[in-house]
Amino acid sequence: MSRILIIEDELPLQRALADNFSFESYEVLTAADGDTGYRLAKEKNPDLVILDLMLPRMSGYDVCRKLRAEGVSTPILMLTARGEEADRVVGLDLGADDYVTKPFSVRELNARVRALLRRPVPLRTLPDELRLDNIRINFRSYEASRNGRSLDLTRKEYQLLRLLVSRDGEAVTRDELLNEVWGQETYVTTRTVDTHVSNLRAKLEQDPHHPRRLITVHGVGYRWLAESS
C-alpha cells in the first residue's frame, strides 16, 4: 500500500485530502506545518508528498529544497493558489515533480498522484545505436564520436541518452529518467538528471545553450528530437 504524506495547514482541506486518499486505499500521514512535515518526510519514508506552499514554521519551498538537498527523491506534488505562476516555476526548480492549482478537483488530484506513483517499466526496445548529424553512438559497445572525433561519455550519460532516444519526440519526466537510469541508488535527485543532461548537451549539441536535440520540457522533463523543427 502506498503511503502519502499531506503537508497542509488549512485543516478542512487537510482533512478532506486525508479522507479522499484513505478512501482510495492509501495509507495517509498528515502534518499542519512545514517543520513537522519535513521531519515526517524524512522519518516515515512516504511514497509521495503533497505539499502546500504557504505553511507555518517552514515554507513549502524550504521543505522541498531541504529534502532534495538531502537526497530525498520522494515525488512531491505541490499545491499552489491560482495565479501563482512564478511560485510554481520556483517550486519545480526546487525539485517538486508536479503541482495542482487550488481549487482543484479530486479527480484531477487523484490522477496526478497515480501518475507520480507509477513506476513505469520500459516496454519498447532500446536502440543499439544513434546516427544523427555528425554524431555516431553505439549504446552496446559504449563508443561515441562526433565529426569523427571520439566523445567521452559516462555510462550514465549513455543510459540516459539511450532512454531519451528510445522515446523520440516524447517528453520523459525527470522522475522517470531518475527511476530508469539511477533506480534505487541513493543520494540522487532530479537535479542529478539536469546535470547529466547539461553535460550531454555540452558534448552533443552544436550550441549547448540553444539545444536542438535535447530539449527541456518545462516543468516536466526532457525530450529528444531527432527531427528538429
- For the chain, first and last CA: distance in Å? 44
The residue (of 5 and 160) whose beta carbon lies closer to Ca ion is 5
Q: Which residues bind Ca ion (CB under 5 A)?
A: 9, 52, 54
Cβ 62 to Ca ion, closest distance in Å?
13
> Closest approach of Cβ 51 to Ca ion, in Å?
10
Report the alpha-carbon distance of residue 157 to residue 134 in Å, rounded: 18
Q: How far is the CB of 73 from Ca ion (least distance, A)?
A: 24
Judge whether 78 and 54 are in contact, CB under 8 Å.
no
Whole-angstrom Cα distance, residue 124 to residue 139?
15
| Cell numbers representing residue 127 in the block | 536502440
Q: Which is nearer to Ca ion, 60 or 211 (CB)?
A: 60
Residue nearer to Ca ion on the CB measure, 60 or 75:
60
Q: How far is the CB of 102 from Ca ion (least distance, A)?
A: 9
Note every long-range contact of 106-114, with CB atoms under 8 Å and residues 24 or more positions apart, other chains counting.
106/20, 109/17, 109/20, 109/77, 110/20, 110/24, 112/77, 113/4, 113/21, 113/48, 113/50, 113/77
Residue nearest to Ca ion (CB): 54
Which of 221, 126, 120 shows the shortest CA–CA distance to 166?
Answer: 126
- Among residues 177, 180, 209, which one has the least CA distance to residue 190? 177
**Distance (Å, whole) CA 160 – CA 181:** 6
Closest to Ca ion by CB, 41 vs 161, is 41
CB of 127 to Ca ion, least distance (A): 46
Secondary structure E strands in the chain? 3-7, 27-31, 48-52, 76-81, 98-102, 129-132, 135-138, 143-146, 149-150, 171-173, 214-217, 221-224
Shorter beta-carbon distance to Ca ion: residue 57 or 212:
57
Give the nearest distance from C-beta 110 to Ca ion in angstroms.
21
Beta carbon nearer to Ca ion, 64 or 178: 64
Q: Which is nearer to Ca ion, 8 or 98 (CB)?
A: 8
In the complex, the smallest distance separating the C-beta of residue 53 from Ca ion, rounded to whole angstroms, is 7
